Amino acid sequence: MEAELQSAVAEYFVHGRGMCETTIGEGSRVWAHAHVMKNAHVGNECNIGEGSFVEGGAYVGDRCTIKNGVSVWDGVMLESDVFVGPNAVFTNDMIPRTKSINPHYEMVRTTVKRGASIGANATIVCGITIGEFAMIGAGSVVTKDVPPYALVFGNAARIRGWVSMKGHKLLFDENGRAEDSDGSTYFFNGDFVELLSPPIE
């Protein structure tokens, strides 16, 4: 019974009812009814939630969390430390038609940069870049690039504020500076936020 419920291969874990057609990173876990296809890349210490799908050609960096019911298609790159909430949706085709109508499918790439978070049920339209540590609100439809540290939500999503590496909303003083509780400091120039000093260890 134990063998039926789970298997451990090459120092990663695949649930007995999961499917993994490739070697994935050390410490990563693939849960029940999740499927990682051949030629997909999954890095170290990732968690692929129940019912999720990682297509061949997709790239998942180290320490990523993919919650239940997420499909990561060919052409989607998740850099390290990315969080993808339940049932979030990626796309990779700007003009979706069946092959019988349009046999010349052109994949459009999407990049989610290090540390970014995507809320539950968000839709990410292909061809964009979501910046480092950006946060996408639940249920949002993201149609254009998101700058680093931006908090966006809505349909279509737009910038509603700025967040720290920890995800806390940043409040800037008259000089455009903000500090988070971990000691990290940030500067807002009117368009973008940049990290001035990292968290205190």
Domain membership of residue 79 (yes or no) is yes
In 3D space, the residue among 196, 85, 168, 78 whose CA is nearest the CA of residue 130 turns out to be 78
Least confident of 10-19, 107-116, 159-168: 10-19
Domain membership of residue 59 (yes or no) is yes
pLDDT in tens, 21-72: 999 999 999 999 999 999 999 999 999 999 999 999 999 999 999 999 999 9
Domain membership of residue 80 (yes or no) is yes
pLDDT at 8: 47
pLDDT at 10: 55
Residue 131 sits in which domain range? 2-94+105-197
pLDDT at 5: 41
Number of domains the chain is built from: 1
DSSP E strands, 10-78: 12-15, 19-20, 29-30, 35-36, 41-42, 47-48, 53-54, 59-60, 65-66, 71-72, 76-78
Domain membership of residue 114 (yes or no) is yes
| 163-182: average pLDDT | 96
CA–CA separation, 6 and 12 (whole Å): 11
Domain membership of residue 99 (yes or no) is no
Q: How many CB atoms lie within 10 A of CB 91?
A: 17
CATH code of the domain covering residue 35? 2.160.10.10
Domain membership of residue 100 (yes or no) is no
pLDDT in tens, 117-169: 999 999 999 999 999 999 999 999 999 999 999 999 999 999 999 999 999 99
pLDDT in tens, 58-98: 999 999 999 999 999 999 999 999 999 999 999 999 999 99
